[in-house]
């Protein structure tokens, strides 16, 4: 199967899983607005099966956020949940990272970032995701998917770092990405936007 087919299949599986798991509906119960971001939205999902959601409410209430996660944990086969309280930082968010095993035994990661509406980073990742998707040519998509495919298992490289290397550094392979990263360390992924 070619890389484009794998990415398209992963995207379809992710949308099906989102619907089955009713993640968006669970957060809507507390009045949240939910945006799909990252590789699911841009069609660049390869080996890392991540569903990235940015969840916005007027106020960040720990108990409310926990209530959604409690419902999801009781309803879904979540194998691991991580929680980070960043309410009092400039990010103004609560991070949830949960692992889920589907019927085919694929492990999915749900990255659910609960953000205060109107905070500094409100909409930032959405704008970057939209910019990446709008500037993707078939050739750039193929290069990014190949690099993601070639990243060795166990090596974690944020997608945004790969996109920056391809768009800004004209990187065309995993070997070139390794060279790029050694001289261009990622300091803040929220500062970059494709030109």
Q: Is pLDDT above 70 for 20?
A: yes
Coil, strand or helix at 17: helix
**pLDDT tens digits, 102-160:** 988 999 999 999 999 999 999 999 999 999 999 999 999 999 999 999 999 889 999 99
- One DSSP character per residue, 87-103 reads TTSTT-EEEEEEEEE-T
Domain ranges, ordered by start, for the chain? 3-121, 127-191
Can you tell me the distance from the alpha carbon of 97 to that of 193, in angstroms, rounded to the nearest whole number?
25
Query: Is 185 exposed, middle or buried (CB count within 10 Å of its CB: 0-12, 13-18, 19+)?
Result: exposed
Q: Is pLDDT above 80 for 174?
A: yes
**pLDDT tens digits, 151-164:** 998 899 999 999 99
The architecture of the domain spanning 3-121 is 2-Layer Sandwich (3.30)
């Amino acid at each position: 199967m070619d890389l484009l087919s794998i990415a398209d299949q992963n995207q379809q599986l992710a949308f099906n899983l989102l619907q089955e798991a009713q993640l968006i509906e669970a957060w809507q119960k507390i009045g949240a607005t939910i945006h799909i971001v990252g590789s699911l939205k841009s069609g660049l999902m390869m080996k890392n099966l991540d569903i990235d959601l940015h969840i916005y409410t007027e106020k960040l209430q720990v108990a409310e956020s926990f209530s959604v996660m409690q419902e999801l944990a009781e309803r879904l086969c979540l194998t691991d949940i991580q929680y980070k309280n960043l309410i009092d930082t400039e990010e103004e968010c609560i991070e949830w990272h949960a692992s889920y095993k589907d019927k085919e035994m694929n492990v999915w990661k749900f990255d659910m970032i609960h953000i205060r509406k109107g905070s500094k980073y409100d909409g930032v990742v959405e704008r970057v995701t939209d910019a990446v998707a709008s500037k993707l040519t078939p050739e750039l998509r193929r290069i990014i998917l190949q690099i993601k495919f070639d990243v060795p298992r166990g090596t974690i490289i944020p997608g945004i770092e790969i996109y920056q290397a391809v768009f800004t550094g004209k990187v065309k392979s995993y070997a070139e990405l390794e060279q790029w990263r050694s001289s261009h360390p990622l300091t803040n992924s929220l500062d970059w936007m494709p030109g």
